[in-house]
Amino acid sequence: MTSRIGVVTFPGTLDDRDALRAARLAGAEPVPLWHRDKDLHQVDAVVLAGGFSYGDYLRAGAISRFSPVMETIIEQAKAGLPVLGICNGFQILTEAHLLPGAMLQNDHLHFICREQRLRVENAATAWTADFAPGQEISIPLKNMDGRYVADERTLDELEAEGRVAFRYLAEGEAADGYGNPNGSLRNIAGITNAAGNVVGLMPHPEHAVEPLIGTGGTDGLGFFTSILKKLVSA
């Protein structure tokens, strides 16, 4: 049976169609999910796509966190449902306290849109198993509120428990010269929960799944093939 990956659409979501397409290209059955519907329609995994849900009013992701669909996602994520939050989806996961920390405006106070190099720090999550630890990948980044912050104790716990999933290459490490794009503490681009089923990151893997679209790379496809292999082996 084909695994079903649901993609949630909130008012202001922009990248739901891209995420649905990425799931299809990986071999899954993509399932659109509406924010006002508590029913997840028997999906095996969920993607919270990027965009500007509710116009990012109040705080990015703060209103979406209270959508009816999130009640079900929070409950099922705590029970093991794989959830991937991309950009605005990452912001929603922090607002829902499924992931620690918070997302603030970029330190330079400008919207940024560019290809971004990352280093895979944790290849043992449900969404990263097709990568190798230390592997460098390149996927698009586009955000205004992309600066990951947390208190020092939380940051130390994330580091000690191996829960930093992705890191921006430090200044001077990236061959293209692109280091930390938004001032995220400890160059953190993405994190995971302790169980490894919930992952959030700011860059957009769904925009790097076909050689003729986006940046012309396919480094983002590994997120979607990783979850399919996890679901098949479960």
Would you name the residues annotated as active-site residues?
Answer: 87, 204, 206
> Does the CA dihedral 51-205-123-25 come out positive or negative?
positive
Lateral strand order in the sheet of 45-48? 29-34, 4-9, 45-48, 83-86, 198-201, 188-192, 164-168, 112-120, 136-143
Buried b (16+ CB within 10 A) or exposed e, 99-134: bbbbbbbbeeeeebeebbbbbbbbbebbbbbbbeee
Q: What are the tokens at 63?
A: 């209103």
CA dist., res. 32 & res. 109, Å (int):
33
58 contact partners, CB below 8 Å, separation of at least 6: none
